[in-house]
Amino acid sequence: MFEVLLRSGSSIRVDEADGYQPEGPMTTFFVSGSNRQTIDSWSTRIASYRTADIMAIRRTPRLVLDGPTARIAAGPEPRACQETAGWRRPVHAAS
C-alpha cells in the first residue's frame, strides 16, 4: 500500500499496489501477485499519476489477517527513491 503526496497538497492512497515505477511522464502502480516481489510482465497496472505532480511516495504497512491473529505485512522497498522523513521521493532522470 502506498500514499502519494501530490503537488496540490492532497494525498491519495493506492491500497492494492505492491510496487511502482516511472513509465514516461507517468508513475504507475502495480499489483504483482501473492508470491512475486517484482514488477514483471504478469503484473497488473492499477493506477497512474503524472510524475511531475508527485511530491513524494510513502509505503504504508498493510494489515494481514492470519486466522485469529493480525500482523503487519512488510513488503520490498521501492527502488529509485530517496527517503525524507518517512516519505520517498521519486528520483527523476536528468534530461
pLDDT tens profile 3-46: 999 999 999 999 889 899 999 999 999 998 767 778 888 899 99
Quick check: is 17 in a domain?
A: yes
Cα separation values, 65 from 16, 29, 69, 72, Å: 15, 23, 6, 9
Place of cell 492470519: 66
- How far apart are alpha carbons 13 and 58 in whole angstroms? 10
Q: Note down the domain range covering 34.
A: 2-90
| Domain count of the fold of the chain | 1
In a domain, 95, yes or no: no
pLDDT digits (tens, 9 = 90+) for 35-60: 777 888 889 999 999 999 999 999 98
pTM assigned to the model: 0.65
Largest CA-CA distance found in the chain, in angstroms, rounded: 52
